[in-house]
Amino acid sequence: MENIIRKALYTGVGFVTIATEKVQDTVSNLVDNGKLSEEEGKKIVDDLISDIESKKEDFEGKVNSLVNKIVNTIDLPSRNDFSTLKARIKELEAQLADDETTTSVKKVVKKAVAKKTTSTKEA
């Protein structure tokens, strides 16, 4: 999920970069053809870049808000919840391994006692 959102953000940044480059090329062509003065062209590009910068923060805030809303809606566990669950699983696996070892030892002891009792009765 996080990967998809990240890719979408990078795609958006890529589109903005391409659009900015196209505008700069277009303005350069207009300046070269004498349809815009160099100052006007510079002002257009500067205004575009400053507008993009201000909208970038707004966009990031909206994306963060949307991601949080999605995560809360689908009730995904947080990183902390996930780490806690992993630790609990390891703890339970260790307990299970201990229980299996204890059970195996008890079986061996019972067999040894049974053999000893059988051997004593036969004599």
**116 CA to centre of own chain:** 61
Q: pLDDT band at residue 85, thresholds of 50, 70 and 90?
A: very high
Q: What pLDDT, in 10s, does the model give residues 14-54?
A: 887 888 888 888 888 888 888 878 888 888 888 888 888 88
Q: What pLDDT, in 10s, does the model give residues 61-75?
A: 888 888 788 777 887
Residue 114 pLDDT more than 80? no
The predicted structure's pLDDT at residue 69 = 84
In which residue are the tokens 């303005």 written?
Answer: 27
Taking the CA atoms of residue 93, residue 98, residue 103 and residue 104 in that order, the dihedral angle to the nearest 10 degrees is: 100
The predicted structure's pLDDT at residue 67 = 78
